[in-house]
Amino acid sequence: MHPFENPFRHGAEAKRHALRHFRATLFDMDGVVTDTARVHAQAWKELFDAVLEQIAGSAQPEFTDSDYLSYVDGRPREEGVRSLLAARSLQVPEGTHDDGPDELTIHGLAARKQGFFEAVLDRDGVVVFDTAAQLISQFSAEGIPTALVTSSRNGREVLRRAGLIDAFDVIVDGTDAQQLGLGGKPKPDMFLYAADQLGVEPQDSIVVEDAVSGVQAARSGNFGMVVGVDHGEDAPRLKRSGADVVVSDLAAAKLQTRTTRPFDPLWVLAYDSFEPEEESTREVLFHMANGYWGTRASYPGTVADATHYQGNYIAGVFNRLTTDLMGKSVETEHMVNIP
């Protein structure tokens, strides 16, 4: 890797992305594509309101929307249980994946939450955000790759009910993460795996998230742009967690103006590593000119040294030198590097 960072990787200000066209978009599901965040919130509330007093042996404050956003939103089920119990200074045994919903273990409580979720989903169904569906459809029509990345192990079932199971090029859900050994959000593993499956670099991709843990995952994965979606009052936390922009509706992000379909590989010359001994040749190969003005390619921020040689040239501007060579006068012309 070259020592100079890609300036689009870690920019905190959205305006730094204004001139960048990205190659793919990765969407979270709950709260971004489908309005199932409220289903999860209700399921978590039913779980914790039922068991916290039993675990603590004394009365406990009820589970609130703030608890949901702070401790469980966007996390795998088991991580959500661990996080909330730790916040209340409570503990239960870890248990095993085979624990049933009646077991007071991490895995047992996760299984019970799943039962509550399925009941609420059966009762209320799946609501899709119209602007998200329209954007995904537009990307598909234009050949722009998309991925759905969700910690939920119900991901594919929710997408089937929403009629979106075939809308994405890649789907990575909680079941995939478990089978592949991928860390859950806020670790970036799932997003990085999805980008790899799409065949794009993280810095060339946009991530759309509504959860703090998801925004943190995208930021730590060095994705080119992170868009936070806030349907309530969580915008400041999303921004603090690393979102470049926060919108209440995806239409406001104008992602269709920030993305473009990938180039045909046959028309792309790309290097994936930095080789100092090859840099001079690469600077020539990536030289850009229009017949009047030419600029030698170079990494941003570099200075002329033994590896790099920046250059700007204008047609008709050159040095004419006369050299005495073995008794003969030899005249040569050299393009001048314009300051």
Catalytic residue numbers read 28, 30
Angle at 212 between CA 209 and CA 215, to 5 degrees: 50
Phi/psi of residue 259, nearest 5 degrees: -125, 155
Q: Which amino acid is at 72?
A: V
Pair of tokens at residue 58? 């004394």
**Residue 28: Cβ within 10 Å count:** 29
Q: Tell me how far apart the terminal alpha carbons of the chain are, to the nearest angstrom.
A: 28
Q: Which two tokens stand for residue 233?
A: 């009052």
Whether residue 18 contacts residue 224, with contact meaning beta carbons closer than 8 Å, is answered with no
Distant-in-sequence, close-in-space partners of 184: CB < 8 Å, separation ≥ 6: 75, 76, 79, 151, 174, 177, 190
Token output for 253: 């992000």
Sign of the alpha-carbon dihedral angle for 133, 135, 139, 145: negative
Q: Where are the beta strands (DSSP E) in 89-181?
A: 146-149, 170-172
Tell whether omega for the bond before 186 is within 30 degrees of 0, i.e. cis: yes
**Per-residue tokens: 265:** 């590989």
Instruction: Give kind and range of the element (H or E) at residue 192.
Output: helix 189-198
- Contact between 310 and 292 under an 8 Å Cβ cutoff? The reply is no
Coil/strand/helix, residue 234: coil
Cα of 198 vs its chain's centroid, Å: 12
